[in-house]
Amino acid sequence: MKLLAFVLLLVGVNQLQAQQKPNIVFIMADDLGYGELGCYGNQFNETPNLDRLAKSGLRFTQAYAAAPICSPTRASILTGQYPARVGITDFLPAKTERWLDPAKYYTINEALSSAGYTTAIVGKWHLDTDYKTGKGSPKAHGFDEVIGSETKYIADGDYFFPYDKIATFPSGADQEYLTDRQSQEASRFIERHKSKPFFLYLTYYSVHTKLEAPESLVNKYKAKFDQKYGKGEAEKYFGAQNIRHESPHPDNPYLAAMLERIDAGVGEVWKTLIANGLDKNTIFIFFSDNGGAPDAGNNGILRAGKSWLYEGGIREPLLVSWPGKIKAGTTSDAAVCSIDFYPTFISLAGIKPNPTAKLDGVDLVPLLTQGKAMKPRSLYWHYPSETGGWINRMASAVRSGDFKLINFYKDNRFELYNIKTDIREQIELSHQFPEKLEELKRKLETWKRDVHAEAPVLKKTSN
The boundaries of the domain holding residue 441 are 376-463
pLDDT of residue 225: 97
**Do residues 102 and 239 share a domain?**
yes
Spell out the alpha helix ranges (H) of 21-161. 48-56, 70-79, 83-86, 108-114
Spell out the alpha helix ranges (H) of 349-420. 365-370
Q: Does a structural domain hold residue 334?
A: yes
Q: Does a structural domain hold residue 194?
A: yes
DSSP state of 229: H
| CATH number of residue 133's parent domain | 3.40.720.10
Q: Which pairing describes strands 378-383 and 145-147: parallel, antiparallel, or unpaired?
A: unpaired
**Do residues 280 and 402 share a domain?**
no
* pLDDT digit string, tens, across residues 149-187: 999 999 999 999 999 999 988 899 989 999 999 999 999
**Do residues 270 and 380 share a domain?**
no
pLDDT of residue 242: 76
Q: Does a structural domain hold residue 130?
A: yes
Asked whether 164 and 155 are in contact (CB, 8 A), the reply is no
**Do residues 231 and 321 share a domain?**
yes
Report the DSSP beta bridge partners of residue 330. Answer: 58
One-letter-per-residue 3-state SS of 299-341? CCCCCCCCCCCCHHHHEEEEEEECCCCCCCCEEECCCEEHHHH
Q: On the CB side of 287, how many CA atoms lie within 13 Å of its CA?
A: 28
Q: Does a structural domain hold residue 9?
A: no
**Do residues 366 and 412 share a domain?**
no
Q: Does a structural domain hold residue 5?
A: no
Last residue of a domain, one of 315, 349, 371: 371
How many angstroms separate the CA atoms of 265 and 270, rounded? Answer: 8
Q: How many Cβ atoms sit within 10 Å of the Cβ of residue 188? A: 14
DSSP codes, 274-289: HHTT-GGGEEEEEEES
CA angle 159, 67, 144 (to 5 degrees): 55
Last residue of a domain, one of 371, 406, 426: 371
DSSP state of 82: -
Q: Catalytic positions, please?
A: 70, 126
Last residue of a domain, one of 371, 387, 411: 371
User: 357: pLDDT confidence band, cut at 50, 70 and 90?
Assistant: confident
**Do residues 348 and 463 share a domain?**
no
Q: Does a structural domain hold residue 418?
A: yes
Spell out the alpha helix ranges (H) of 57-97. 70-79, 83-86
Q: Which pairing describes strands 378-383 and 395-400: parallel, antiparallel, or unpaired?
A: antiparallel
Contacts 24+ apart (CB under 8 A), 175-179: 175/214, 177/213, 177/214, 177/261, 178/148, 178/205, 178/206, 179/204, 179/205, 179/206, 179/258, 179/261, 179/262, 179/265
CA angle 75, 76, 82 (to 5 degrees): 115
**Do residues 336 and 461 share a domain?**
no
Q: At what angle do helices 253-275 and 215-229 cross, to 10 degrees?
A: 120
**Do residues 104 and 230 share a domain?**
yes
User: 247: pLDDT confidence band, cut at 50, 70 and 90?
Assistant: confident
**Do residues 176 and 274 share a domain?**
yes
**Do residues 349 and 417 share a domain?**
no
Mean pLDDT of 224-248: 89
Q: Which pairing describes strands 118-123 and 58-64: parallel, antiparallel, or unpaired?
A: unpaired
* pLDDT digit string, tens, across residues 449-462: 999 999 999 875 44
Q: How many domains does the chain have?
A: 2
Q: How many residues does the chain have?
A: 463
Q: Does a structural domain hold residue 248?
A: yes
DSSP state of 38: G
How many angstroms separate the CA atoms of 202 and 183, rounded? Answer: 8
Asked whether 415 and 430 are in contact (CB, 8 A), the reply is yes
**Do residues 279 and 337 share a domain?**
yes
pLDDT of residue 417: 99
Sign for the CA dihedral angle at 262, 266, 272, 275 comes to: negative
**Do residues 362 and 397 share a domain?**
no
Q: Does a structural domain hold residue 351?
A: yes
| CATH number of residue 457's parent domain | 3.30.1120.10
**Predicted confidence (pLDDT) at residue 140 exceeds the cutoff of 70:** yes
pLDDT of residue 17: 45
Mean pLDDT of 223-245: 90
